[in-house]
Amino acid sequence: MNKDFQAILQSVKEKKFAPVYLIDGEEVYYTDILTKCFEEQILTEAERDFNLLVLYGKDVSSVDVINTCHRLPMFAPKQVVIIKDATQMKDLKELAAYVEHANPSTILLIEHRFKKVDGKLKLVKLVKDKGYYFTADKIKEEDMPGWIERYGTSIGFHVAMPEAQLLAGYLGDDLQKIVNEIDKVRINVPEEKQLTSKMIQTYIGINREYNLFEFPVMLTTKNKDKLYKMLTHFVDNPKAAPMPLIVGALYAHLNTVYQAQALGNNEKELMSVLRLYKDRLRDTVIAARNLPSPKIEMCFDILADYSAKMVGVNSTADDRALLKELVAKMELTIGA
């Protein structure tokens, strides 16, 4: 989670309010969370009737907003003014005059969703100086599994990298959709502390036969029939498993196997350190037996080479051709 995002939530929790908050950017998941927080967490239910004022950018001018912000709260120490869709305000920059001399009894939230405010504006500079400014950038495709893993940790529900890669590959970059699906699993299995592939298949409906995190396992456990079947599927359906996610999945699995070799064959220690559930532990142990460390290191070199080729370094091939080459080279390295 973004540090500035957490700082805003913390300021609300501790009742240490700034006079103005500005949130912008493409990722509306964060925007929605913060807006809901301001609507529900600052004022009591009784105070909201008179002191929660929601304005919409397309309907108001800067003069309307400034007049609203300068009114005094009724039967409460603070009033909350929220400008939703401030992107549509024609004279948003004129709010700089208000921020410079903000009403101490007003908490103003400017919600500028889908795009950033021009950083050169005086408004932005003043908000940074006197309040909180947060940009919710879209999560990059290759960073999605890491985001999912961290989200799981934040809610006390461990999502290992293979499962995170699977969710990212099949659910895309819609953070709210991903969160909803994980929450759906937790509702069905409230006592469980870790997301497994079986839960994903049962409660989210992602088919295990062609899922992303099984692909590296087929390679390292030398299940050629399944490997080729999955490879054909991914080449024919590139959106099902984009090349960056496949490379990430291969690296994550090989890194886990590499660590397992260093830790030895003590299953309890492997489960504790690597945080693997039983099926994944079995696959990892089999791969660790199949692959000597030098071969794994060679595979890391191959992955590094193809990570560069994906972005056009020393290659003009498309992702489907690169994927076939990558798997062929790794299979040759791993051996029969």
Note the pLDDT tens digit of each residue in 200-234: 878 887 665 677 778 888 888 888 898 899 889 88
Q: Are residues 8 and 125 in the same domain?
A: yes
Could you list the residue range(s) of the whole structural domain that residue 85 is in?
A: 3-135
Query: What's residue 329's pLDDT?
Result: 92
Q: Do 102 and 166 sit in the same domain of this protein?
A: no
* Three-class secondary structure of residue 204 per DSSP: helix
172 and 232 belong to one structural domain: yes
The total number of structural domains that make up the chain: 2
How many angstroms separate the CA atoms of 114 and 93, rounded? Answer: 17
Is the domain of 62 the same as that of 80? yes
CA distances from 76 to 12, 19, 44 (A): 16, 16, 9
The pair of structure tokens assigned to 203 is 């409660």
* Whether the predicted pLDDT of 275 surpasses 70: no
Q: Which of residues 117, 135, 153 is at a domain's end?
A: 135
Domain stop point among 135, 168, 183: 135
- Average pLDDT over the chain reads 88
Statement to judge: residues 165 and 283 lie in one domain: yes
Q: Mark which of 108, 135, 162 sits at the end of a domain.
A: 135
Residue 273 — very low, low, confident or very high, per pLDDT cuts 50/70/90? confident
Q: Residue with structure tokens 């699977």?
A: 166
Output the domain CATH number for residue 95.
3.40.50.300
Same domain, 130 and 213: no
- DSSP E strands: which ranges in the chain? 20-25, 52-56, 79-84, 106-113, 132-135
pLDDT digits (tens, 9 = 90+) for 242-254: 788 788 888 888 8
Is there a single domain that holds both residue 178 and residue 272? Answer: yes
Banded pLDDT at 269 (limits 50, 70, 90): confident
Q: How many CA atoms lie within 13 A of 105 on its CB side?
A: 12
Asked whether residue 8 falls in the same domain as residue 155, the answer is no
**What CATH number is associated with residue 278?**
1.20.272.10
The pLDDT confidence band at residue 3, using thresholds 50, 70 and 90, is low
Residues 118 and 245 in one domain: no
Same domain, 298 and 274: yes
